[in-house]
Structures are given as structure tokens and as C-alpha cells.
Structure 1
């Protein structure tokens, strides 16, 4: 059997055209109903939740500094007592020996030799001259004798090179009458052997005491 090649040229059948339109319309309607779900599709809203942040850890306690202690005041320096160290051997004399008759000492300027100063001589104190020992007791003041009073006088006297009293000073006295009697007697009648230094008479202060006693 051969196909009719000229059958299609006879025209479009109304039944086929209607069926085709119906199918296309159904497709268009399907697309229109399906379009809102395809085109208008939206992503679901994002839900925001606040997650609490844990608070920071509390600060670590810092190590407390050691309390400041006041520096004690230094103790006063006390020197250690000297400890005597015994000498195991006698000291050695290193002084150079000198000739018995040294020659003259000549200075750089040919001037006179300087002689060492002599050592100070001992002082021999003044003493009462025994030839005038009876003249040391002053006469009793009449006013004190009538009153029946006894007394004592202590004085310092400056004894000159001739053995006489040059000055007198009161140290203590029972009364002025006793001191006046002692002063007059010392300046007029007291005699001493003067003090000497190397057999040379020198002046010296000396303290003396006088006692006034009533005779029974």
C-alpha cells in the first residue's frame, strides 16, 4: 500500500484544530495555575534568636604586696674593748747607737745648733717658816670674845718669792670680824719659805685655815 502524498494538501481538519487548541489551552491554564507557586515562591523568613553571651570571668585577685616594714634605726656604734695581747718576745730596740762624743751639729744654713728644751722642773711648795710660827695666830676680835663666840677662817694667800703674803682671798669665815683679824695678821706677820722650781724661788697660792678658840 502506498501513502497518499497529496492527502495533507487537502486542508486542515476542524477536529484536529480544535483538539490542538484544547490541548494548548490546557497547557496554558496549567502554567498559569502553576505560575504563582513558581514565580511567587519566597524563602521562608529568617528566625533571629539572641544567644546570650556568657559574662567574662571575674578578674583574678592580684597577689597583695608584702607590707612595708620600717627599717630599724642603726644601733649606736660601741667600740670593742681592747684585748691585751701578751708579747711573746721582748721588743727590739731599733734606736741607732750614738757615739759618746758626737761632733757639732751643723745646720744647712750654718746657723747655731738648736738645743733641746730642758724638761720642766718639779715645783716645791711653800712652807711655814718655823722662825715665825708663833706669829700665825691672829689676836681674838674683842666683839667676838665679848659675845663668847668661837670661829674658823679659811683663806687663800699668794706667797711671794721673799716669803711674804702679797694677796689674800676669803674662802669661808664664821664672821667678818674673824676674817678681818686674819687678813691683818697674814699681810703683816705671816712668813713662809717660798716655793721653788729648780732651786729658783717662785710665787705660789696656798690655802690656810685659822681657828679661834676661847680659853677657859
Structure 2
């Protein structure tokens, strides 16, 4: 058995239209929500410098005026009155010259004695004093200066002393003996013989040149216990 087939024209359905519009609206809303949010950055305004005037510095304090030290004037010493000049009259009579005359030298290019035309020669300078060195004992012969003890004086147990002046030649040998003092003639003879035979000296000099010279020598005789 077959059901009857509807062959008439379709009818307008308002409920379906509303459903279609609702579906399309939901799709549009969903697309709008799905779009990412784009943030717009606000540009930063440029910095503008501003000059700020500072207050002026306070003025420096004015230093106090310097007080100059007052210098007291020194008292002026009194001026001594000059001594009166007393004129002594010259004694009449002959003038006696002194023993030593002091020459008066003229100045450079001058003439002694006033208006003469001659030139006075200058005084000759005094030469220096000579250098004199006295004779001395030659150290090589120092052990030969003691004379032999006189046997007679030794037996008597007597001591003595002799002082003599000797003339020393340019070769250092004794040329002459002069007695000054002696305890006895025996001591003097022993000293004189020893001086002429064995004494040796370094000769004296005058400006480095050897010369004869005198020297005083003393010899002592002492007995050994």
C-alpha cells in the first residue's frame, strides 16, 4: 500500500529563517572574538631642557684695613763740640835729625820734592830672611856619643858631667871643641877625644847649602851598680 505523495508548492517557514540568521550571527561574533587584540603604543613626548637660574653667591667679607705700625723716631745724639785747636809755636834753634830716616815715596808718576822733572827710583824691597837649619845628631852614630869612663874616676867611684861647644863642619865631623863646664879634667879629656874621633852630625844649612855651625853638647858619666 502506498502513501499519498504531496506534490504541492513549498510553503515559507519563518522559524527556519530565524534559525539561519541566528547561526550566521554567531559565526560573525566568533570571528570577531578570534581577531587578536592590537595594542596601540602612545609615542613618548621629547624631553625639553629648562635652564634654572641659581641665586647669586653672597659677597666676600671685606677685610679690615691694616693698621701700620708707628715707628718712633730715634733721638738724635748730641753732636760733640770740636776740640779747640791749640797752636804751638815752633822753638827757635837748630833742628836735630833722628838716627833713622824714613824715606817718603812719591805717588805713581809723581816727583818727590815738588816741581823737579826727574823720576825718583822706587825703594828696593827687602830680601827675605835666610832659612837656617841647625846641625843635628846623625842617627847612624847615636851609640858612639858616650865616651869611655875614665879609669881613675871609676876607681874613685865618682860620677860627673861635661858640657862642651863643638864646631861642626860641612861634612858632619867635629872640627873644634871648647869646654863650657866639667866635673874634672879626666871627664873633659874623655869627652873631647870621643867628640873628635867618633861624633857625627848632619851639617847645618843656610838656604839649603851646608855650612859650619856650633852646637852645645852635654855628657853625663854615671857608675853602673
Q: Which has the higher helix share?
A: 1
TM-score by length of 2: 0.44
